[in-house]
Amino acid sequence: MPTIGPTTAIPRDARGAAIALGNFDGVHLGHQAVIASAQDVAEETGVSLGVAVFEPHPRRFFKPDAPPFRLQSTRQRARELNEIGVEEVFEIGFDAALANSTDREFAERVLRDLLGVSHVSIGADFEFGKGRCGNAESLARLGDELGFSVAAIEPVGGDDKISSTGIREAITRGDMAAASEALTRPWAIQGEVLRGFQRGRTLGFPTANVALGEYVRPRLGVYAARVDVGDGVLLPGAASVGVNPTVGALPEPLLEAHLFDFSGDLYGKTIEVELIAFLREEAKFDSLGELKRQMTQDVIDARRALVGA
């Protein structure tokens, strides 16, 4: 849905929802607990279940030059939210005016006036407003005054709480099992297939190339993968994330996915590549023949890793 701001009108039937409020990048187990809290209230009171997220992510607003960090695209997030029962997704435009709002201004202008919420669920460590002046305690007080209830949900995982930051760290070290466990699904990169140099095709391993964009950079190397080419069917494959040092280093890492036993033109199509297991580090080979022999072994290793995955 389009991004909304403090002065944007929303449909009348979307007002009054019980919402979960946060960034929800990844929709991981901790996020799901917050959303489940709002869902309980929605079912008890007979209102719709909504999620309010900030777009762009506040981290991108405050640090525009920061390295890419997103766990999923807005499209993936909306899909995951829909699959767990969320009926309304409100993308709140995060700009200078919102960043400089006090906790009261945010509660009044966004939660009461714009969304007309009946309930808000947040993580217990949620902070908002200029200088992070607002927190769970202040929001609860404001909710009592402004006419909505508030629930603060403790982190999932105790001392080893599940967080988007922790999942990013797992991905950057290639620990896809840990990332998948926290996300409750394999981590996946979605994007349009780009036309490349077709070197993989000449080696007998054609690939579908996808730019990493705003996604957090995974550990460079080769992965066992599963690929959705747009029909919801996951096809087995092997994927490389790197700069192609053997044939001429690229300026930015690229995702190259080789689908087993697949033929077809994917250029221009949107695909989604699940990185299931890290197989090996990216390496520079002395010859294309050596590279081809390693790619043959990568396919064998990926097939093994995908058995039972």
pLDDT classification of 251: cutoffs 50, 70, 90: confident
With a CB cutoff of 8 Å and minimum separation 6, the contacts of 147 are 112
CATH code that applies to domain 164-306 = 2.40.30.30
pLDDT classification of 14: cutoffs 50, 70, 90: confident
So what's the pLDDT on residue 205? 86
CA distance 70 to 190: 12
Greater model confidence, 84 or 265: 84
Q: Which residue ranges make up each domain of the chain? A: 12-160, 164-306
Q: What is the mean pLDDT of the chain?
A: 92
The conformation of residue 118, written as its DSSP 8-state character, comes to: S
Calculate the CA 271 to chain-centre distance.
15
Joined tokens for residue 196: 């490349």
Report, as an integer, the average pLDDT of 146-172. Answer: 95
Residue 172 pLDDT > 70? yes
So what's the pLDDT on residue 271? 96
The conformation of residue 68, written as its DSSP 8-state character, comes to: P
Residue 308 pLDDT > 80? no
- The answer to whether residues 30 and 157 touch, using CB atoms and an 8 Å cutoff, is yes
Long-range contacts of 107-112 (CB under 8 A, 24+ apart): 107/134, 107/139, 107/142, 107/143, 107/146, 108/142, 108/146, 109/6, 110/6, 110/52, 111/21, 111/146, 111/148, 112/146, 112/147, 112/148
So what's the pLDDT on residue 40? 98
So what's the pLDDT on residue 197? 60
- The answer to whether residues 218 and 172 touch, using CB atoms and an 8 Å cutoff, is yes
Residue 263 pLDDT > 90? no
Crossing angle, helix 176-183 and helix 164-172, to 10 degrees? 160
CA distance 187 to 173: 13
Joined tokens for residue 216: 């957090």
Report, as an integer, the average pLDDT of 85-97. Answer: 93
Torsion over CA of 139, 141, 145 and 146, rounded to 10 degrees?
A: 10
Which of these ranges, 8-12, 73-77, 87-91, 185-189, has the smallest mean pLDDT?
8-12
Report, as an integer, the average pLDDT of 277-299. Answer: 93
Report, as an integer, the average pLDDT of 231-240. Answer: 92
Report, as an integer, the average pLDDT of 274-299. Answer: 94
- The answer to whether residues 121 and 41 touch, using CB atoms and an 8 Å cutoff, is yes
So what's the pLDDT on residue 199? 62
Residue 10 pLDDT > 70? yes
Q: What fold does the segment set 12-160 form as a domain?
A: Rossmann fold (3.40.50)
* Percentage with pLDDT > 70 across the chain: 94
The reported pTM is 0.92
The residue written with tokens 């929605």 in the block is 42
